[in-house]
C-alpha cells in the first residue's frame, strides 16, 4: 500500500509541475502577444526559448481553449 501511495503522489506532483509549466508558457505568450491566440508553432518556439518540453506546449494549448490536445491528461 505504501508503494502505491508514494507512486500516486509522484504522479500527481509530475502532473501539477507540467500543468504549471503550461500555464507559465501561455502567460508568457500572452504577455508578449496581447490579444493573440497562440498557434502550436508559436508555443513550440517559446517553449524552446524557455527550456520547456512539448508537454508544456500541450497543456498551454489546452488552456488557450483548443481543448484536449494530448491523451494522457
Give the pLDDT confidence of 5-62 residue by residue, as tens digits. Answer: 889 899 999 889 888 999 999 999 999 999 999 999 999 999 999 999 888 998 999 8
Is the pTM higher than 0.85? The answer reads no
Q: How far apart are CA 63 and CA 26, in angstroms?
A: 8
Rounded Cα–Cα distance for residues 46 and 36 (Å): 14
Is pLDDT of 73 > 60?
no
Residue 71 has pLDDT above 50, yes or no: no
Amino acid at each position: 500500500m505504501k508503494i502505491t501511495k508514494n507512486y500516486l503522489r509522484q504522479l500527481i506532483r509530475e502532473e501539477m509541475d507540467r500543468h504549471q509549466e503550461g500555464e507559465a508558457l501561455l502567460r508568457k505568450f500572452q504577455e508578449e502577444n496581447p490579444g493573440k491566440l497562440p498557434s502550436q508553432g508559436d508555443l513550440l518556439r517559446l517553449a524552446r526559448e524557455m527550456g520547456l518540453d512539448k508537454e508544456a506546449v500541450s497543456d498551454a494549448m489546452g488552456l488557450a481553449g483548443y481543448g484536449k490536445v494530448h491523451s494522457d491528461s
